[in-house]
Amino acid sequence: MAGYSGTPLYRKLGIKPGHRVVLLDAPASFAGALDGLPAGVVQVSGLAVDAAADVIVLFVTERQELLARLDQVRAGMAQDGGFWVAWPKRASKVPTDITEDVVREVALPTGLVDNKVCAIDEIWSGLRLVIRRENRK
């Protein structure tokens, strides 16, 4: 599905052919948002110890949720993968204590760095986190 920019969401999120994509706690309104994925993309609903994900999208509305899931999600991502934290935009009126600054405050001390931001849809914003190059194995 393309947003107001006309760019398909999968492209905004950096999903490429052959990627393993994990959606965590996606709201019902997100169904169909990734229609038209490139060939060979495997989309799963949970993290696997034996299969690192190239792209992870975690939907959160509370700082505590992010804190509770961060280590698990980081452990499930490929060394060169991306981890998107999605939170409700202020204009959405969805109750939240998450902002772009909160995501950075929580994630950056763990060795992650942000490198992209996007409007996922009219409700959700996203910040992409990656493992710092010097911390990759």
pLDDT at residue number 136: 83
Six-digit token pair at 103?
A: 């995501």
Whole-angstrom distance between the N-terminal and C-terminal Cα of the chain?
34
How many Cβ atoms from other residues are within 10 Å of residue 104's Cβ? 16
- Is 49 part of a structural domain of the chain? yes
131 part of a folded domain: yes
Task: Tell which wins on pLDDT, 66 or 30.
Answer: 66
Mean pLDDT of 49-78: 94
Question: For the chain, what is the domain count?
Answer: 1
Domain holding 122, by residue range, is: 9-135
pTM for the model = 0.92
pLDDT (mean) for 38-61 = 92
Tell me, what CATH number does 39's domain have?
A: 3.40.50.150
How far apart are the C-alpha atoms of 31 and 67, rounded to whole Å?
25
Give the residue carrying structure tokens 């950075």: 104
Separation CA 50–CA 23 (nearest Å): 17
Q: Which strand (E) or helix (H) includes residue 58?
A: strand 53-59
